[in-house]
Amino acid sequence: MSRKSARILGQSLGMNAHEVNEALEDLGYIEKSKYVTMSGSLTWDLTEEGKQHGEPSKNSYSHGAIWDDDVIDDIKKSK
């Protein structure tokens, strides 16, 4: 099973990446980081709960996490 970015997960949920990240924050899987990128973009940190469902992205262009497919169901249940 490959993990997916918030943008890719959002495609199956009808949401954009920002909305997915907000839902993941509401679930307690991520929290806003005190750091921002050089361009001023917000970054996220995985919580202990979030580490059970994802991991930090190793892609140098991404500042978020990649997620297991099970978070799709978690997001749908939380709506």
Please report which helix (H) or strand (E) contains residue 33, including its range.
strand 30-36
User: Rounded distance, CA 1 to CA 19, Å?
Assistant: 23
Asked whether 61 and 78 are in contact (CB, 8 A), the reply is no
- Domains identified in the chain, total number: 1
Query: Confidence class of residue 2 from pLDDT cuts 50, 70 and 90?
Result: confident
pLDDT the model gives residue 4: 94
Domain that holds residue 66: 6-78
User: Is the pLDDT score of 63 beyond 80?
Assistant: no
pLDDT digits (tens, 9 = 90+) for 13-62: 999 999 999 999 999 999 998 877 777 777 889 999 999 999 998 876 66
47: burial class by Cβ within 10 Å (0-12, 13-18, 19+)? Answer: middle
pLDDT the model gives residue 39: 79
